Amino acid sequence: MSLIDTLAGLPLISPFVEFGFMRRALAGCLALSLGATPIGVFLMLRRMSLAGDAISHAILPGAAVGYLIAGLSLSAMTLGGLVAGIAVAVLAGGVARNSVIKEDTSLATFYLISLSAGVLIISMRGSNVDLLHVLFGSVLALDDAALFLLASFASMSIVAIAVGLRLIVLECSDPEHLARISRLSPLAHYGFMVLVVLNLIGGFHALGTLMAVGIMILPSAAARFWVCNIVPLLLTAVVIAFGGALIGLLLSYYVNLPAGPAIVLTLGGLYVLSMALGPLGPLVNRLRPRWHFER
């Protein structure tokens, strides 16, 4: 019996050995875990989790305009989403800084306008299937071009984080200090926002506009209950993201669930589990005896 035959007999592996669409889905999730999740960690640490959610919705009208022009074309929807996502990220921050409207309200207004405009535009031309595709993604239908796109975004994010880790850490932990000591502060701010939008677009293709931010924020928040230093935090979040995606895909295969929600819900489960068991979670923190006489 060959190794492939042996692996094909294991229930945890056999779906990926037998079916190409499962392998593609797994590869897409791996790319998202490596690229989008570390960006999600910084998004969470900058207290911008909800901002990420709002920007992910802002991608929709741009992708919808791309859809209106070229149908379900990867490049047209990506380009439209990129323009709309960056525009809303800049506009929402600008309105909050220059008016009486606070940032949460500003993001909420753009989120509502974007989501309704996107749904309206797609409904004007497409079918309900197309609408479901953009709202909930199609992780089981990733083609070569989509996989290449996800892998490209992941590679860009990994390189950017590896090269600019010190810059991103200071931008997220003490942006005012960074602005005082370096002229790279605007690069850090806007470069980070571009990475956020790119990864949200990657997540949009796989998980749809409503759940793209799930693979960014849920593993990050779960990892926060386990570690308290930035590099281990990034690595833990990546492991949780990929583990959750793997379990979610298997659940979707064996229990016949929609794949996107199964992945995000599994990540949600891992978050709850981490909250209950993680050494920095509220439960363990409360039950652990207090340390005395420690410097």
Q: Could you give the string, one character per residue 149-188, with x where binding to another protein holds by CB under 8 A and - elsewhere?
A: --------------xx-xx-xx-xxxxxx--xxxxx----
Q: Could you give the string, one character per residue 224-263, with x where binding to another protein holds by CB under 8 A and - elsewhere?
A: x--xxxx--x------------------------------
Please tell me the count of residues contacting another protein according to CB under 8 A. Answer: 25
CB of 267 to another protein, least distance (A): 20
CB of 33 to another protein, least distance (A): 19
Helix (DSSP H) and strand (DSSP E) numbers for the chain: 14, 0
Q: Spell out where 21-145 has E strands.
A: none
CB of 162 to another protein, least distance (A): 10
Place of tokens 């990926």: 16
Class of residue 46 by CB neighbours under 10 A (exposed 0-12, middle 13-18, buried 19+): middle
Distance CA 226, CA 258 (A): 30
Nearest one of 153, 142, 138, 132 to 38, comparing CA atoms: 153
98 with 158: CB under 8 angstroms?
no
Measured between alpha carbons, how far is residue 47 from residues 52, 185, 196, 221 in Å?
A: 10, 18, 14, 11
From 68-76, 89-97, 222-230, 256-264, span contacting another protein (CB under 8 A): 222-230
* One of 288, 290, 292, 295 touching another protein (CB under 8 A): 295
175 with 185: CB under 8 angstroms?
yes
Verify binding: residue 91, another protein, rule CB under 8 A: no
Nearer to another protein, 36 or 170 (CB): 170
The site for another protein (CB under 8 A) is made up of 45, 163-164, 166-167, 169-170, 172-177, 180-184, 224, 227-230, 233, 295
